[in-house]
């Protein structure tokens, strides 16, 4: 009997949402009926999400992809001889040669979709643990220095230099310090954290362990949103396995150093993605934002010095340590070093994850990767950076994706999520939604956010109801701009402070949707 | 006999209540919700910041966090009932009343809006005959909004009883709801 053919069927929620479990079961059943020896491996997602479930067959020439595979396609795929890479309408060729994947620079996501996420052997065989082994041979201060040199900036949105944050925690003496991973990925249009946690959980564990070694923390928490039950299950299984082989615990990899961690589940509050609110939530309180200072790096979780980083930031630590700071730093442009996993979402033909060095343009992402709109209509606006990010009109799609270049056009790259809209979008409605979302999710601590967002919804409603009265409309627009100014200047955190970005960008770039003259708003936009 | 009365007084008094004494009494409570809550608290109370894990477990076991559980949790963790109530009501995930047999969560965030999510939300409301944050008259479905399921490249997305579904059209939603009812009957 010949060796079984290995068939990869993703276990990522994106694949499960398209019946991947049924596909996997049908593959095993039909192979059994036909006497064909197969072994189904449940991998993570490659991030080509319009093709999920994307099934891969391991052939002597490499992995061959088929997708999107619906349960009813499975018998025909066997008929077409897919176990040897046979031709079929869903045949995509060698996975590595699919242009969408081939043109990426996968550093943080190198293993995602390639390996069985829970296999310790797979992880080690595909370059895992190299960073931690190097870190274990270094002094804590050297690790911190390496992170500073790498130029890595917080991938959760704020883009604060990770190494500097670590340096502050390392320099704050305490009997206990913590590493907290912010996995409360609540922004619409973002799913990189989820893909990573479900596709390569050990890289996050390794990154947090290195962070612990660097700053002298012995315990970590991963705060995952409750909307991600599959990510939670994968992380918990991974932590248990890592503990059982000594990758976590009192004697990490036999080094005599201690580090352990656990998963904590959020409860549907968007604001808990804000770091101080997340810490309150971990402490068992309402997720109400804390005033800063003190910085969490000095007085964080339970009042102890705390590193709080996003999933992607922490998961990028191992490759920086494995290949050296210079290797990572050489990717990117200006002060935006390294790569960012961009997330293509909304009205795009080819939505998915694209890890690329900073410096490419939105247009490249939308058309070279995204393939244009899913609806076939012209694209009109793209929201970059989540619900608090600006809406960009086509005239701005050639600005290089670089933190500083985006700040100059009053936009933000944030977490690298982008949501595309075609020409049927009503930007006044999207502006209203931004205020409404802020009103729903405000923690209520500061007035500009709590009250301002509600007044914002009302004002936009008045603009919409303005009818032919241009004068009244213009007065309300003036009020709305004034309100946005108050929210940006007076809010305690980014929710109230940045909710005006989508509103103002909609006003400035799409004034006709508000029934106002473009010349008048252009004067304000300057 | 006298001693038992003292215990019960402790548990209901404002100042000196709480801790192990109250928890022991609660675990022996004839009210199943209180006894179950007390067992969960006894297991988790030594975690740092135990309240959210406790609330998750209680809701998982009882389907919601009923009023009688709030008192038990507050006493065992040395918190006021107001504090526990405040936490429960802050987080949309926690509910004080049980949900219907099945829960349908429809994503209402930007990416789903870009792909007809609002149309799908209107269809869900019409199909179920109830608004968001409410349940159908037959007690089969609770309809909840959700702000992002992380399936933004495959919008619009919904979740039914914790299982994600992507690229959901009104027709597909109808089929999913029917399948859900068939599977449970």
According to the CATH classification, is domain A120-330 in 3.40.50.11540? Answer: yes
Assign a CATH topology to domain A427-525.
de novo design (two linked rop proteins) (1.20.1440)
Angle at B164 between CA A379 and CA A57, to 5 degrees: 85
Question: Mind listing the pLDDT tens digit for each residue in A347-373?
Answer: 999 999 999 999 999 999 999 999 999
B182 confidence band (pLDDT: 50, 70, 90): very high
B14 confidence band (pLDDT: 50, 70, 90): very low
**For residues A345 and A192, what is the distance between their CA atoms, to the nearest angstrom?**
11
pLDDT at A522: 44
A423 touches chain B (CB under 8 A): no
B5 confidence band (pLDDT: 50, 70, 90): very low
pLDDT at A518: 67
In a domain, B35, yes or no: yes
Could you tell me where the DSSP H helices lie in A261-402? 275-282, 311-323, 325-329, 362-363
Task: Say how many C-beta atoms besides its own lie within 10 A of residue A219's C-beta.
Answer: 19
Question: Mind listing the pLDDT tens digit for each residue in A146-155?
Answer: 999 999 999 9
The ranges assigned to domains in chain A are: 5-102, 120-330, 333-422, 427-525
B172 confidence band (pLDDT: 50, 70, 90): very high
Interface contact flag, A227 B150, Cβ < 8 Å: yes
- Res. A298: pLDDT tops 70: yes
Shared domain check, B86 and B26: yes
The tokens for B99 are 């949900």
Question: Mind listing the pLDDT tens digit for each residue in B100-157?
Answer: 999 999 999 999 999 999 999 999 999 999 999 999 999 999 999 999 999 999 999 9
A194 confidence band (pLDDT: 50, 70, 90): very high
* Phi-psi group of A48: left, alpha or beta (phi > 0 → left; psi -120 to 50 → alpha; rest → beta): beta
Question: Could you give the ipTM of this predicted complex?
Answer: 0.94
Helix (H) or strand (E) holding A259: none
Nearest CA-CA distance, residue A1 and chain B, Å = 38
Residue B111, domain CATH: 3.40.30.10
For A228, B7, B40, B58, B79, the CA distances from B25, given in Å and listed in that order, are 36, 8, 14, 18, 17
Question: Mind listing the pLDDT tens digit for each residue in A488-505?
Answer: 999 999 999 999 999 999
At which of B40, B62, B90 does a domain end? B90
Assign a CATH topology to domain A333-422.
Ubiquitin-like (UB roll) (3.10.20)
At which of B65, B90, B115 does a domain end? B90
The tokens for A498 are 């940045």
Shared domain check, B173 and B109: yes
CB burial readout A101-131, b (16+ within 10 A) else e: beebbbbbbbbbbbbbbbbbebbeeeebbeb
At which of B37, B65, B90 does a domain end? B90
Question: Mind listing the pLDDT tens digit for each residue in B134-147?
Answer: 999 999 999 999 99
Question: Mind listing the pLDDT tens digit for each residue in B43-69?
Answer: 999 999 999 999 999 999 999 999 999
- Res. A23: pLDDT tops 70: yes
In a domain, B57, yes or no: yes
Phi, psi (5° rounding) for residue A219?
Answer: -140, 145
In a domain, B145, yes or no: yes
Q: What is the pTM of this model?
A: 0.95
Least Cα distance to A386 among A194, A190, A202 occurs for: A190
Shared domain check, B118 and B47: no
The tokens for A424 are 């049927």
- CA dihedral A71→B158→A184→A224, nearest 10 degrees, is -60
In a domain, B95, yes or no: no
Identify all chain B residues contacting A193, using CB atoms and an 8 Å cutoff: 150
Q: What is the mean pLDDT of chain A?
A: 96
Shared domain check, B139 and B163: yes
Shared domain check, B67 and B8: yes
B18 confidence band (pLDDT: 50, 70, 90): low
In a domain, B106, yes or no: yes
Shared domain check, B81 and B25: yes
Peptide bond before residue B156 is cis, with ω within 30 degrees of 0: yes
pLDDT at A517: 79
- Res. A115: pLDDT tops 50: yes
Interface of A with B in 427-456 (CB under 8 A): 430, 433, 437, 440-441, 443
B23 confidence band (pLDDT: 50, 70, 90): confident
The tokens for A281 are 């939530």
Angle at A455 between CA A453 and CA A457, to 5 degrees: 70
pLDDT at B10: 42
**In the block, which residue shows the tokens 């315990």?**
A219
pLDDT at A2: 77
Nearest CA-CA distance, residue A13 and chain B, Å = 7
**For residues A339 and B178, what is the distance between their CA atoms, to the nearest angstrom?**
44
Identify all chain A residues contacting B90, using CB atoms and an 8 Å cutoff: 269, 286-288, 443
Q: How many domains does chain B have?
A: 2
A333-422 and A427-525 in the same fold = no
Shared domain check, B108 and B82: no
Give which of B74, B111, B168, B179 to mutate to test A binding, by max A Cβ within 10 Å: B111
Shared domain check, B81 and B110: no
Shared domain check, B13 and B85: yes
Assign a CATH topology to domain A5-102.
Glutaredoxin (3.40.30)
pLDDT at A468: 75
Shared domain check, B65 and B109: no
Question: Mind listing the pLDDT tens digit for each residue in A428-443?
Answer: 999 999 999 999 999 9
Interface contact flag, B91 A268, Cβ < 8 Å: yes
Shared domain check, B120 and B67: no
A14 touches chain B (CB under 8 A): yes
**For residues A441 and A430, what is the distance between their CA atoms, to the nearest angstrom?**
16
In a domain, B96, yes or no: no
pLDDT at A467: 73
Name the residue range of residue B122's domain: 102-184
Shared domain check, B109 and B78: no
């Amino acid at each position: 009997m010949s060796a079984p053919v290995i068939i990869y069927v993703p276990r990522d929620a994106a694949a499960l949402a398209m019946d991947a479990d049924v596909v996997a079961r049908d593959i095993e059943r039909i192979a059994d009926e036909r006497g064909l020896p197969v072994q189904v491996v449940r991998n993570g997602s490659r991030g080509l999400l319009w093709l999920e479930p994307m099934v891969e067959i391991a052939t002597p020439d490499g992995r061959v992809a088929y997708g999107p595979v619906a349960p009813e396609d499975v018998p025909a795929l066997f008929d077409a001889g897919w176990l040897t890479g046979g031709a079929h309408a869903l045949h995509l060729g060698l996975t590595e040669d699919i242009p969408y994947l081939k043109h990426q620079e996968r550093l943080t996501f190198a293993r995602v979709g390639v390996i069985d996420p829970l296999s310790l052997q797979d992880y080690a065989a595909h370059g895992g643990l190299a960073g931690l082994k190097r870190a274990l041979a270094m002094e804590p201060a050297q690790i911190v220095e390496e992170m500073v040199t790498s130029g890595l900036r917080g991938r959760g949105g704020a883009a604060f230099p990770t190494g500097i944050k670590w340096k502050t925690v390392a320099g704050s003496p305490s009997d206990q310090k913590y590493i907290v991973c912010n996995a409360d990925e609540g922004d619409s249009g973002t799913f990189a954290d989820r893909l990573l946690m479900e596709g390569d959980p050990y890289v996050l564990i390794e990154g947090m362990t290195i962070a612990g070694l660097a700053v002298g923390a012995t315990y970590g928490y991963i705060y995952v949103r409750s909307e991600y039950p599959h990510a939670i299950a994968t992380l918990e299984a991974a932590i248990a396995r890592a503990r059982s082989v000594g990758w976590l615990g009192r004697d990490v990899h036999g080094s005599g150093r201690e580090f352990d961690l656990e998963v904590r589940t959020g409860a549907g509050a968007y604001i808990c993605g804000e770091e101080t609110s997340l810490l309150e939530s971990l402490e068992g309180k309402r997720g109400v934002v804390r005033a800063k200072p003190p910085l969490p790096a000095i007085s964080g979780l339970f009042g102890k010095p705390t590193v709080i980083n996003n999933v992607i930031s922490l998961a990028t630590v191992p490759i920086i340590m494995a290949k050296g700071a210079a290797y990572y730093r050489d990717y990117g442009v200006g002060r935006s070093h390294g790569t960012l996993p961009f997330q293509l979402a909304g009205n795009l033909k080819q939505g998915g994850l694209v890890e690329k060095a900073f410096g490419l343009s939105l247009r490249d992402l939308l058309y070279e990767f995204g393939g244009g709109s899913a609806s076939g209509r012209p694209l009109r606006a793209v929201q970059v950076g989540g619900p608090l990010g600006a809406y960009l009109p086509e005239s701005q799609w050639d600005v290089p994706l670089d933190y500083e270049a985006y700040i100059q056009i009053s936009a933000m790259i944030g977490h690298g999520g982008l949501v595309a809209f075609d020409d049927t979008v009503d930007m006044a409605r999207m502006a209203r939604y931004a205020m409404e979302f802020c009103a729903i999710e405000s923690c209520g601590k500061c007035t500009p956010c709590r009250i301002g967002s509600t007044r914002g919804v009302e004002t936009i409603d008045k603009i919409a109801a303005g009818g032919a009265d241009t004068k009244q409309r213009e007065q309300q627009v003036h009020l709305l701009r004034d309100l946005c100014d108050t929210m940006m200047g007076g809010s305690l955190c980014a929710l109230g402070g940045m909710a005006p970005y989508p509103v103002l960008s909609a006003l400035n770039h799409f004034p006709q949707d508000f029934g106002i003259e473009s010349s008048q708003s252009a004067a304000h936009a300057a | 006999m006298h001693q038992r009365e003292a215990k019960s007084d402790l548990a209901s008094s404002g100042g000196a209540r709480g801790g192990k004494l109250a928890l022991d009494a609660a675990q022996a409570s004839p009210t199943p919700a209180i006894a179950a809550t007390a067992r969960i608290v006894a297991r988790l109370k030594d975690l740092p910041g135990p309240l959210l894990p406790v609330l998750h477990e209680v809701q998982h076991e009882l389907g919601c966090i009923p009023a009688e559980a709030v008192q038990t949790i507050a006493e065992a963790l040395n918190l006021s009932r107001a504090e526990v109530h405040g936490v429960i009501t802050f987080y949309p995930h926690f509910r004080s009343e049980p949900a219907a047999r099945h829960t349908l969560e429809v994503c209402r965030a930007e990416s789903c809006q870009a792909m007809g999510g609002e149309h799908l939300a209107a269809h869900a409301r019409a199909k179920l005959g109830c608004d968001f944050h409410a349940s159908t008259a037959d007690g089969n479905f609770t309809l909840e909004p959700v702000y992002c399921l992380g399936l933004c490249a495959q919008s619009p997305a919904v979740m039914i009883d914790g299982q994600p579904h992507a690229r959901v059209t009104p027709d597909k939603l109808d089929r999913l709801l029917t399948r859900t009812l068939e599977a449970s009957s």
